[in-house]
Amino acid sequence: MAEKRLVIFTDIGDTIIDEGTEVRETGDVVVRADCIPGARETTLRLYEAGYPIVMVADGLVKSFHNLMELNGLDHVFSGWVISEAVGEDKPSPKMFAAAMEVLGLTEKDKRRIIMIGNNVVRDMRGASRFGIRSVLLDWSSRRPFDPEIPEDVPTYRIHTPEELFDLAEKLNAELEAEDA
């Protein structure tokens, strides 16, 4: 399968993992949690279709390793960019720059990247300021989606993980047409 033009950066909490199911141990490490309905299947489908996927997540390295291994998703990521290791949380540009670096991407590739997330301040604002497009998944009602500032407005908005596949295919086709 040829690699796709579109590059996917993804949040994890309430984007792939249902935060309401998280079980923590002392030290705040998440030891287990379930995926949002449809999120595991969609992530696997995107991976199998050839999309480069990089995790861009705030939290502890050990938590994400636990969660991805338990849910059979540890093989899908080209890179794991985790705030504990980077030293700053989203919306810090350091997080997004680290994700680009993993794939060897440069400034001119920013048009190929979308950031998927549920948090308008961390994910949408972070993406806007970094100069990449954003996709808000509004499945979870744990956080408000109202923008505090214009940079919090997502480029695209979806309600279920499954919708991401068709959106990715559409955006990838647009990039391929532009670059042909």
Residues found near Mg ion in the complex (CB under 5 A): 11, 13-14, 118-119
Nearest distance, CB of residue 47 and Mg ion, angstroms? 20
Q: Rounded to whole angstroms, how far apart are CA atoms 90 and 128?
A: 12
Distance between CA 162 and CA 78 in Å, rounded?
A: 21
Least distance to Mg ion from the beta carbon of 175, Å?
26
Could you tell me the smallest distance in angstroms from the CB atom of residue 119 to Mg ion?
Answer: 5
Beta carbon of residue 49, minimum distance to Mg ion (angstroms, whole number): 23
Which residue, 59 or 79, is less far from Mg ion as judged by CB?
59
Closer of 46 and 137 to Mg ion (Cβ): 137
Beta carbon nearer to Mg ion, 4 or 58: 58
Is residue 12 helix, strand or coil? Answer: coil
Instruction: Name the residue whose CB lies closest to Mg ion.
Output: 13
Nearest-approach distance from CB 13 to Mg ion, in angstroms: 4
Name the 3-class secondary structure at 6: coil
Residue (52 or 58) nearer to Mg ion, CB: 58
Residues 6+ apart with CB under 8 A from 50: 1, 2, 3, 4
Q: Which of 7, 99, 2 is nearest to 52 (CA)?
A: 7
Cα 43 to Cα 40, 59, 84, 150: the distances in Å are 5, 20, 23, 29
Residue nearer to Mg ion on the CB measure, 13 or 161: 13
